[in-house]
Amino acid sequence: MFFSLPYLATVFVLILIQAMAAVPWVTTVFANRTLTLGEILRESFLPRTLLRVLVVGVVLAVVSLGLGQDRTTLETVGMWAGFLFQLQLIVDFFLLGFPLLMKVWPKGGAVAFAAFREGVRQPMFWVLFIFAFLALVVSLVVPYFTFGEDLVMVKDLGFDTMMLAAALFGAIAASQSISEEIEGRTAVTLMSKPVSRRQFLLGKFLGILLASLLMFALLGWVFEGLIPTKSWLDRLDPVPNPAWLTSTLASFNLPDPATDLLRGVGLWVDQTLQVLPGLVMTFSEVTVLLAVAVALATRTTMVVNLATVLAIYFLANVTPVLVQIGDEATAAAKAAHRVDAGAELLSFTAGLFNILLPDLDAFRIGPALVADIAVPAPYVLSVLFYGMLYTLIVLLLGLVLFEDRDLA
């Protein structure tokens, strides 16, 4: 029977999980007292929008459950449940993360929260988000002429779009927030609170980073929803269910309707796990570029800062090619028993850039997508460690530059 007790119990558990995840931000919406982060979100109408999304999702689920009893419908409802649950987890992370940060790091956390609030309130944040959102949606219908590999192009372009939007926002926000406060002598007032220069700079970096993370997480959530949409539009063959999902559902030994519903949730979890390595690697690149922008903001104006960050991004991408060209030219000159000063100069310059500039190729997920292979977890962790280490070195350099900066 469709409405069997195990099926109703499964639906009840899923609704209960959704309700528990919605408690933090629903409480923020209807709380009598104003919460700090809740105030920001209310001003941007985000919680009310989330509430509407949740209500619409519940209505769609009820209608789907009432009208459709086939496996495809139930799997779709299960994927929608996972889709909404992930959005709620993103919002919960920021609602609960800042109070915890305030307790662990009061002064720096206050600076980080102020920078985060300033970044999210800026129209630039939402303009870049909408632009990236539209770019992701348009990528579904653009013909790529790849002979059946359009989905790979959509994924590759999606990661690049999210990275560019978050990195551009971070660079502009760092230039405005740090450079303008230093030039406008606002930082002098803040230092008298007392807030040390280290707390000021690291707090600004963390706040802008979290604002970039919010944009990146929301775009990533949309991106994950567009992947199955692209498969449906291109009428691709369904991918076999992962082995872990099949074995897990078999161990539950539930009736078919309940199993189909949970299979949809599991398929969304599996898709999230497949996309997660690319998201981690891509946001590591955003973190590195943001650290460079923060360090430069202690000494340069916004225009110079943005130009320098763009130059570093360009040089870091072309450096591997220059290294290869320089090495090949030098080797050819040696084989011909002649001295090529231009080749040696190019090889030396490219090698110097290769040492000083970040290796942005390490953050690329494109080669794995083209080869259709899963990125090993150790490699993702190594890329994450490299990004954190490079970020730390750049921030230390920024602290050195800021310590000698005259704020008076």
> What would the pLDDT profile of 11-29 be if each residue is shown by its tens digit?
778 877 877 887 777 666 6
Q: Is residue 241 within 8 Å of 78, Cβ to Cβ?
A: no
Flag the least confident range among 51-60, 111-120, 146-155, 290-299. 51-60
pTM: 0.89
Instruction: Please say whether the beta carbons of 322 and 346 come within 8 A.
Output: yes
Q: How far apart are alpha carbons 302 and 310 in whole angstroms?
A: 12
Confidence check: pLDDT of 237 > 80: no
Residue 206 CA to its chain's centroid (Å) = 15
Of 46, 199, 183, nearest to 120 by C-alpha is: 46
Band of residue 315 on the pLDDT scale cut at 50, 70, 90: very high
Q: What pLDDT is stored for residue 74 in this prediction?
A: 84
73 domain-assigned: no
The alpha carbon torsion through 22, 25, 31, 34 (nearest 10 deg) reads 170
Nearest-angstrom CA–CA distance, 116 and 284: 19
Q: What is the pLDDT of residue 35?
A: 46
Q: Any idea which residue has 């192009």 for tokens?
A: 153
94 token code pair: 């920021």
Least confident of 4-8, 27-31, 238-242: 27-31
Which tokens belong to 371? 């080869």
**Per-residue pLDDT averaged across 168-178, rounded?**
91
Residue type, 298: T
- Which residues are CB-neighbours of 182 under 8 A, at least 6 positions away? 297, 298, 405, 407
What's the mean pLDDT in 109-137? Answer: 94
Range in 183-192, 253-262, 301-310, 358-367 with the lowest mean pLDDT: 183-192
Phi/psi at 195 (nearest 5 deg)?
A: -130, 125
CA distance 191 to 7: 60
Q: How confident is the model at residue 164 (pLDDT cuts 50, 70, 90)?
A: very high
Q: 96 vs 206, which has greater pLDDT?
A: 206
32 — pLDDT class (breaks 50, 70, 90): very low
More confident residue, 23 or 134: 134
Q: CA-to-CA distance for 390 and 289, rounded, in angstroms?
A: 10
Q: Which of 113, 297, 112, 287 is nearest to 200 (CA)?
A: 112
21 domain-assigned: no
Q: Does the pLDDT value for residue 383 go beyond 70? A: yes
- Answer whether residue 141 shows pLDDT above 80: yes
Structure tokens at 273: 């796990």
- Is residue 100 domain-resident? no
Domain-located, residue 155: yes
Confidence bin at 273 (pLDDT 50/70/90): very high
Q: Domain residues for 188?
A: 105-403
Residues above pLDDT 90, as percent of the chain: 45
Instruction: Grade residue 339 by pLDDT with cuts at 50, 70 and 90.
Output: confident
Contacts with 291 (C-beta within 8 Å, 6 or more apart), sequence order: 205, 390, 391, 394, 395, 398
Task: Tell me: pLDDT of 408 over 60.
Answer: no
| 392 φψ region: left (φ > 0), alpha (ψ -120 to 50), beta (else) | alpha
d(CA 408, CA 68): 70
Encode burial over 190-210: b for 16+ CB neighbours within 10 A, e otherwise. beeeebebebbbbbbbbbbbb
How confident is the model at residue 338, as a pLDDT? 84
Angle at 365 between CA 361 and CA 368, to 5 degrees: 110
Rg for the chain (alpha carbons), in Å? 25
CA distance 99 to 4: 43
Q: What amino acid is encoded at 50 in this protein? A: L
**How many angstroms separate the CA atoms of 219 and 227, rounded?**
13
Q: pLDDT class for 65, splitting at 50, 70, 90?
A: low
Residue written as token pair 């963390």: 206
Domain count, the chain: 1
Please count the other Cβ atoms lying within 10 Å of the Cβ belonging to residue 356: 11
Q: Has residue 175 been placed in a domain?
A: yes
Q: Lowest-pLDDT range, 19-33, 211-225, 319-333, 365-379?
A: 19-33
Residue 51 placed within a domain = no
pLDDT higher than threshold 60 for residue 2: no
Q: Is position 3 within any domain? A: no
Per DSSP (E only), the strands in 256-361 are: none
Highest mean pLDDT among 49-53, 152-156, 233-237, 280-284: 280-284
Report, as an integer, the average pLDDT of 109-125. Answer: 92
Structure tokens at 207: 């706040």
User: What pLDDT score does 327 carry?
Assistant: 87
Residue 78 lies in a domain: no
Give the pair of three-digit tokens for residue 51.
């509430």
- 362: enclosing H helix or E strand: none
The pLDDT of residue 342 is above 80: yes
Q: Using DSSP, how many helices (H) and how many strands (E) does the chain show?
A: 16, 0
Residue range 61-83: mean pLDDT, rounded: 73
Q: For the chain, what's the residue count? A: 408
Mean pLDDT for 108-112 is: 91
User: In 3-state terms, what secondary structure has residue 80?
Assistant: helix
| pLDDT > 70? residue 57 | no
